[in-house]
Amino acid sequence: MRMTLLIAALAIPMLGCASAPGKITDKIIVEFTVKPETRPEFIEAIHEILIDTRAFDGCLGVTVWTNESEDNKVWLLEEWATRAHQEAYVNWRSETGNTSHLAPFLAGGPRFLWLEEH
């Protein structure tokens, strides 16, 4: 139930985006489980790497979200032109290893939740 409400709340800001009317874009929530005591530093580090994310081909936007009752979670809401663009981005991040400095903040791997608009 909590995740359903979160997904709905995160999708609301995207309604006013500059996307072309009627154009379907792919949205994904990336959920990170972090060590609560390192969450502020993780958020700072993630904002630094999001500069490259936003510049990556097909990225239409990405925002960072938290929830006051879950101090061990950080979510990214990403909007991509296509799912293939996001997958190419994830491959690029894996190949370059340029996110390895985030490992000390994490308490597990990321979870990818593709959203379907209804």
Please report whether residue 4 resides in a domain: no
pTM (2 d.p.):
0.78
CA distance 66 to 84: 27
pLDDT tens, the chain, 118 aa long: 454 434 444 444 444 445 455 568 999 999 999 999 999 999 999 999 999 999 999 999 999 999 999 999 999 999 999 999 999 999 999 999 889 999 999 999 999 999 998 8
DSSP per-residue letters across 40-100? HHHHHHHHHHHHHHHHSTTEEEEEEEEETTEEEEEEEEEEES-HHHHHHHHHHHHHHTTTG
Answer whether residue 78 is part of any domain.
Answer: yes
Domain membership of residue 33 (yes or no) is yes
The whole-angstrom separation of Cα 22 and Cα 10 is 20
For the chain, what is the domain count?
1
Indicate whether 5 belongs to any domain. Answer: no
- Residue span of the structural domain in which 34 resides: 25-115
Q: Give the CATH number of the domain where residue 54 resides.
A: 3.30.70.100
Residue 91 lies in a domain: yes
